[in-house]
Chains A and B, each alone.
Chain A
């Protein structure tokens, strides 16, 4: 044990801490280095606002992918956020503690299921169901939204539970003592006090949804067009990169890196908002 000593351990930990940051920095630099020249020569406006994606004829417009990513993420929020927040309220406020202690880790286990498995279930069960009951090709915006909505549940539920439980018991007691009902106490006091934590959980879930690739490729159908209905097939930004990267060369490859730059900017923005929201919560206490 003496071999390393206090100082040695400190230095090793320092190196480890910096390796994580430098990895992030390297990734960011690499994506920007590969993608930025394309954005400059092709033009950010043409790239973002054109809906023609035909790499073979030199047309690179990612508007359908941007639209798809936003719609899929919104869809996942519509499915996942109400379910997640409601589940968190039930587990923290109503369910007996022993029940919560069993259910919460079980839900967190959902996060450990590989996304390819979610995708497989989507292809085998959900898509045929949508095709036979609602029409369309089945592999669609709707299928992707439902699958992603389920995938983000663990993030939303576990962070929401933690922030609801962090609300001091005296708040609830005070509210009840003033004659408020249990439900009034929950939605006017508890939820309000835990609000920034719940918002942060939803934003983190959103980050997960927009960055998910494998499950989306499998269930969304990957057609390059701006969706007109939830039953249309769509291709997200992440799917666009993953689908074509293995074959792409030259300008096409640069365009995919540029897609990565756009995705990176979107995700950084979302994460910064989440971090700010969490800071606000900590500051309040």
Chain B
């Protein structure tokens, strides 16, 4: 009696779970960069509307997860937004599908409009501690950075080079909270993906170059990172078709329309 009452629901449940997925569709799983995740979701949706033989799932987790899960096979395609791919990723085939600018942002109340790469480096190293030293009002600088392991942070530190983040730096765990912190604190400086700029914050010109789609596409703005799709071995079959779709004109158009810079 007891065994039956427990087993029956389990049996029903397992049948339901089995029946839920599959049905002859080729599953493709993407995992990794949270910066590219929303774009991948949109692209997957568009692709599946015309190709109903594939079932694409997009997961986040961060660039490191993208690399690891592609190596382990948990995901067929890894997404990584790193300037330098880690050693483990050497075995994978990496395709640049988009580029993303990193904007150095300050509060709109801040008088600063221009920074040099050297000044950015010194501010994040904690060498420059007062806005007066870079030509703005006399006020202490509040440095805001991302958590260790963030793709945006490692890209930022690799492009600017020689950054050992000051221990006084506030740490926020997403582009969104960086934006909120800088928008709320007149003395704060942070960095975020340029697609997320809005009126509540102000992007500083770096070495005289404004952070816009045009300057990034023209290669004038230097704080730019590539977004990679990683595949184990050579992309084949449906995986190759999907990556080709992302690199095609309609795919690149979707990327551009939503705030990233196309790969070509």
Contacts and interface: CB of A to CB of B under 8 A. Distances in A.
Interface of A: 8, 11, 53-56, 123-124, 127-128, 131, 137-139, 217-218, 221-225, 232-233, 235, 242-244, 246-249, 252
Interface string B72-88: 00000000000000000
A124 B63 CA distance: 31
A131 B109 CA distance: 15
- Residue from A127, A137, A252 with most neighbouring chain B CB atoms (10 Å): A137
Given A55-B149, A223-B168, A225-B168, A137 B62 contact: no
B168 A244 contact: no
B170 A139 contact: yes
B172 A222 contact: yes
Pick the 7 closest A-B CB pairs, nearest first.
A247-B149, A222-B171, A247-B62, A225-B167, A221-B170, A55-B148, A243-B147
A223 B167 contact: yes
Contacts of A225: 167-168
Contacts of A131: 185
B138 interface: no
Given A217-B173, A249-B65, A54 B167 contact: no
A147 B63 CA distance: 33
Interface of B: 2, 60-65, 68, 142, 147-150, 154, 167-173, 177, 180-181, 184-185, 187-188
A222 B165 CA distance: 13
B159 to A, nearest CB: 15
Contacts of B63: 247
A243 B171 contact: yes
SS class of chain B's interface: helix, strand, loop or mixed? mixed
A248 B149 contact: yes
A8 B6 CA distance: 12
A218 B180 CA distance: 11
Contact of A123 (B61, B154, B180): B180
A218 B184 CA distance: 13
B184 A123 contact: yes
B185 A138 contact: yes
A244 B167 contact: no
A247 B65 contact: yes
A50 B142 CA distance: 25
29 contacts: A8-B2, A55-B148, A56-B148, A56-B149, A123-B180, A123-B184, A137-B142, A137-B187, A138-B185, A218-B177, A222-B171, A222-B172, A223-B167, A223-B170, A223-B171, A225-B168, A242-B173, A244-B147, A244-B148, A244-B149, A247-B63, A247-B64, A247-B65, A247-B149, A247-B150, A248-B64, A248-B149, A249-B65, A252-B149
Given A8-B2, A131-B185, A138-B185, A247 B170 contact: no
A127 B184 contact: yes
Contact of B181 (A11, A139, A246, A249): A139
Nearest to B184: A128
Contacts of A244: 147-149
Given A56-B154, A222-B172, 10 more contacts: A54-B148, A55-B149, A123-B184, A124-B184, A217-B173, A222-B171, A223-B167, A233-B168, A244-B148, A247-B63
A243 B172 CA distance: 8
B97 to A, nearest CB: 21
A252 B148 contact: yes
Contacts of A56: 148-149, 154
A128 B181 CA distance: 10
Given A56-B154, A252-B148, A235 B171 contact: yes
A252 to B, nearest CB: 7
